[in-house]
Amino acid sequence: MNIFKWLTTFLIVIIASLGGFLYYSFNIEPYQVEVVEYVSVKDKEAEDEIKVVQFSDVHIKEDFTHENLEEAVNKINQQNPDFVVFTGDLYDNYSIYNDDENIIATLNKIESKIGKIAIWGNRDYGGGAAQHYAQIIQKAGFVLLSNQSQFFSLENNKKVLFTGLDDALLGAPDLESSKTDESVDYSILLSHEPDFINQYDTSDYNIILAGHSHGGQVHIPFIPSVNQTGLSHYSHSKKYSKGFYDLHKEGDKKNYVNSGIGTTHISARFGVVPEITLFRILI
């Protein structure tokens, strides 16, 4: 094979690979929602379990509509959850695309044995969404927490506490005003942006659930500059971008960052599959 044929073959392979990469990133991975499962043990001798499902960062827009959201809702319901929590960013840009009637109907299909809880994300304030988000989420059967706490009693008489912070970028989070002195058996803190958690004393909480980062949304192997910045570089999630992080020296307090369901900036994902997270909590 002469050099011309070799270069032609090489170029064809490169173009085909790039085309495959782009097709997969824009048309396949963004719609492959997976369920990630963790077990969190409060009491090793506990016989009771509650299931908490977290979803985050839906970013409804023209290429990710209520029909795509419904697929995620079906996967949430398959987990038979006791609680469902949404950690913010329902629409991508409300002023450009919105479909409240269908979104409310779809979110109403989420089934939870005990409660559905939501908090504010930055996109729930921006683009005119602030005038509509609370009404949408409440009509969908969620309790919307903004610097507030909500108790839930279980059948075994134990209590679970959810505290929801206001959005850190466009809202006014205040953990101190959210706290309560009432005794509980398990406490969960919800915050849309994960990096701001370090500003607070979170030692009273067993787990912290956040979102916002999309896990960087695009992760290309062997290209550190992309992976270290990605989309999360512009999302105030430089320190905590995906998965579990220890916040205290004893290692039993954890911050979990959900990779989200939707996309922003570009409608693509690569190496960061959209996720729903199931936490099996023994208390």
Nearest CA to 215 out of 245, 259, 256 is that of: 259
Task: Output the pLDDT for position 233.
Answer: 42
How do the pLDDT tens digits run along the chain, 283 residues long? 588 788 877 788 888 888 888 999 999 999 999 999 998 766 666 778 999 999 999 999 999 999 999 999 999 999 999 999 999 999 999 999 999 999 999 999 999 999 999 999 999 999 999 999 999 999 999 999 999 999 999 998 899 999 999 999 999 999 988 877 788 999 999 999 998 888 888 988 999 999 999 998 988 876 654 554 455 444 455 678 889 887 655 555 689 999 999 999 999 999 999 999 999 998 8
pTM given for the model: 0.91
| Number of Cβ atoms within 10 Å of the Cβ of 13 | 10
Task: Output the pLDDT for position 234.
Answer: 46
**DSSP β-ladder status, 207-210 and 186-190:** parallel
Residue 218's SS3 state is strand
How many angstroms separate the CA atoms of 142 and 61, rounded?
Answer: 21
Directed axis angle between helix 100-107 and helix 66-78, to 10°?
A: 10
Nearest CA to 275 out of 213, 262, 267 is that of: 262
**DSSP β-ladder status, 49-55 and 159-164:** unpaired
Reading the block at residue 168, the tokens are: 């850190």
Query: In sequence order, which residues have a C-beta less than 8 Å from that of residue 33 and are 6 or more positions away?
Result: 71, 72, 75, 261, 273, 274, 275, 276
How many angstroms separate the CA atoms of 265 and 69, rounded?
Answer: 19
Nearest CA to 247 out of 255, 239, 236, 256 is that of: 255
Task: Output the pLDDT for position 223.
Answer: 63
> For the stretch 144-159, what's the b/e string if a residue is b when 16 or more beta carbons lie within 10 angstroms of its beta carbon?
bbbbbbeebebeeebe
How many angstroms separate the CA atoms of 53 and 84, rounded?
Answer: 5
- Asked if 192 and 211 touch (Cβ cutoff 8 Å), the reply is yes
Reading the block at residue 163, the tokens are: 């505290």
Residue type present at position 146: S
How far is C-alpha 36 from the geometric centre of its chain's CA atoms?
12
- Asked if 125 and 166 touch (Cβ cutoff 8 Å), the reply is no
Query: In sequence order, which residues have a C-beta less than 8 Å from that of residue 208 and are 6 or more positions away?
Result: 188, 189, 190, 191, 194, 197, 202, 247, 253, 254, 255, 256
